[in-house]
Amino acid sequence: MKLVFATHNQHKFREVKALMPSHIELVNLTDIGCFDDIPETAETIEGNAKLKADYVRDHYSLPCFADDTGLEVTALNGAPGVYSARYAGAEKSAEANMDLLLENLEGAQDRSAQFKTVIALSMQGKEELFPGICKGEIIHERKGDQGFGYDPIFLPQGYDKTFAEMEQEEKGKISHRGRAIALLLDYLNTSV
């Protein structure tokens, strides 16, 4: 089965592709000739995932899924949330985003946070949503060089290393995206 993952982010694509079984041929937006920057104008993570999946369905008529992810920090009332990728500006700089987050958490006692991913699947005339959450905390300084985004400052609950210190396979088993992908795969295996 060929399935489009509606992303241009190669880090994210590799991470998700590693979780896919061999009978699913996963392709990304570049592979289908889509070079558009799909607008993410919804007020929620679910809404943005749905916007991207709908865009591919409407313009390419291919079975696809899209995700949106946000880092929700308790002390910041859930921010950066839906604005996680562009927290420090439209250029979507991971370094600037982490710098701003650490600055905004200076002096905060509660550093609890969670990553939330929602996958929107558009296939065979139906839409389904699959959420994944990973709880943890924001540490004071970057650790590790794996992963992307906020991974160097996110310590998942029950672990003594950040996402950026984990090998892809280990992170994939516990991450927000890994959990959402597991729900997606369960659905694909039982419903398609």
Tens digit of each residue's pLDDT, the chain (192 residues): 899 999 998 988 988 898 888 889 999 999 999 999 898 899 999 999 999 999 999 999 999 999 999 999 999 999 999 999 999 998 889 999 999 999 999 999 999 999 999 999 999 889 999 999 999 999 999 999 988 899 999 999 999 999 999 998 899 889 999 999 999 999 988 876
The secondary structure of the chain in percent helix, strand, coil, rounded to multiples of 5, reads: 35, 25, 40
What's the confidence (pLDDT) of residue 191?
77
Phi and psi based region of residue 104 (left: phi greater than 0; alpha: psi -120 to 50; beta: remaining):
alpha
What's the confidence (pLDDT) of residue 21?
84
Count of domains forming the chain: 1
Give the residue numbers spanning the domain of 130.
Answer: 2-191
What's the chain's length in residues? 192
Residue 183: give its domain's CATH number: 3.90.950.10
The catalytic residues are 68
What's the confidence (pLDDT) of residue 121?
97
- Sign of the C-alpha dihedral, residues 54, 59, 61, 65? negative
